[in-house]
Structure 1
C-alpha cells in the first residue's frame, strides 16, 4: 500500500513532530500555568455533557 520511502518519511515526520511539540510545550509551560488555571473544570463539564447526551439517547430509545 505504501512504499518503503513513504513509511520511512512518516516515521521521521512523527518523531520530529513529537519532539517539536515537547519543546514548544516546555517553553510555554509557565504561560499555561498562569493563564489556564482551572481549565480542567471545563473539560469535566464537557465530558459530563457528552455523558448526559448518551444517557438521554439510551433512555429515550426504549
Structure 2
C-alpha cells in the first residue's frame, strides 16, 4: 500500500509534529492560564448542545 520511504517520512513527520506541538504548548501554557480561564464551560455547553440535537434527532426519527 505504502512504500518504505513513505512510511519513514510519515513516522518522521509525526514525531517532529508532536514534538513541535508539545514545545509550543509548553511555551504558551502561562498565557493560556491567563487568557482562557473558564473555557471548559464553553466546552460543556457545546457538548450539551450536541447532545440535545442528537436527542431531538432520535425523538423525531421514531
TM-score between the two structures when normalised by the length of structure 2: 0.97
Q: Distance in 1 between matches of 2:61 and 2:18?
A: 43
TM-score between the two structures when normalised by the length of structure 1: 0.97
**1:3-37 Cα distance to aligned partner (Å, 9 max, x none):** 00000000010000000000000000000000000
Q: Distance in 1 between matches of 2:58 and 2:52?
A: 10
Query: Unpaired runs of 5+ in structure 1?
Result: none
Query: Unpaired runs of 5+ in structure 2?
Result: none
Once superposed, what is the RMSD of the aligned Cα atoms? 0.4
Summarize the alignment of residues 1-62 of structure 1 with structure 2, pairs less than 5 Å apart. 1-62=1-62
